[in-house]
């Protein structure tokens, strides 16, 4: 069974601060996705990374896929209250049929 561990589990910061959350596994994945989920809603896809060492930027969010394709990080610059939510990572393998999700990091950004 492929497991994804996310850390920290909870993070509470002030508006304007920077933060990094992590997604780690002992397994190799073909691709890894990051999602953001708000209470009572389904997760929304933020990004997919597929190449070891890949870095993708989405406005204030920077995503990195580890060289060995076992881990990933999400860095947010100058966090805003609208960034509040549950950040989930999910790993997929070609022809595996399904993605495996971590338990997420709950981020609270206080104004």
Residue 84 Cα distances to 36, 47, 63, 71, angstroms = 9, 17, 17, 23
- How many chain residues are in contact with another protein, going by CB under 8 A? 29
111 binds another protein (CB under 8 A): no
Nearest to another protein of 68, 78 (CB atom)? 68
Q: Compute CA distances 42 → 1, 25, 85, 100, 105, whole Å.
A: 24, 24, 12, 16, 15
Shortest gap between Cβ of 15 and another protein (angstroms)? 25
Q: With the CA atoms of 72, 61, 49 and 29 taken in that order, what torsion angle do they form, in degrees rounded to the nearest 10?
A: 20
Between vectors from CA 36 to CA 32 and to CA 42, what angle results, nearest 5°? Answer: 105
- What is the nearest approach in angstroms of another protein to the Cβ of residue 27? 15
Binding string to another protein for residues 22 to 41, with x set by CB under 8 A, is what?
--------xx-x-x----xx
Q: Which residue in the set 48, 62, 64, 84 belongs to the binding site for another protein (CB under 8 A)?
A: 48
Which of 45, 55, 68, 78 is the binder for another protein (CB under 8 A)? 45
Q: Which residues pair with 17 in a beta bridge?
A: none
Q: Which of 11, 74, 79, 92 binds another protein (CB under 8 A)?
A: 92
């Amino acid at each position: 069974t492929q497991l994804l561990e996310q850390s920290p589990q909870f993070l509470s910061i002030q508006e304007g601060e920077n933060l990094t959350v992590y997604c780690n596994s002992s397994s190799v994945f073909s691709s890894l996705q990051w999602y953001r989920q708000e209470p009572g809603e389904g997760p929304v896809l933020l990004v997919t990374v597929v190449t070891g060492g890949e870095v993708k930027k989405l406005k204030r969010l920077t995503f990195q896929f580890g060289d060995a394709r076992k881990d990933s990080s999400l860095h947010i610059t100058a966090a805003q209250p609208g960034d509040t939510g549950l950040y989930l990572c999910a790993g997929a393998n070609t022809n595996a049929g399904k993605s495996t999700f971590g338990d997420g990091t709950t981020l609270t950004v206080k104004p």
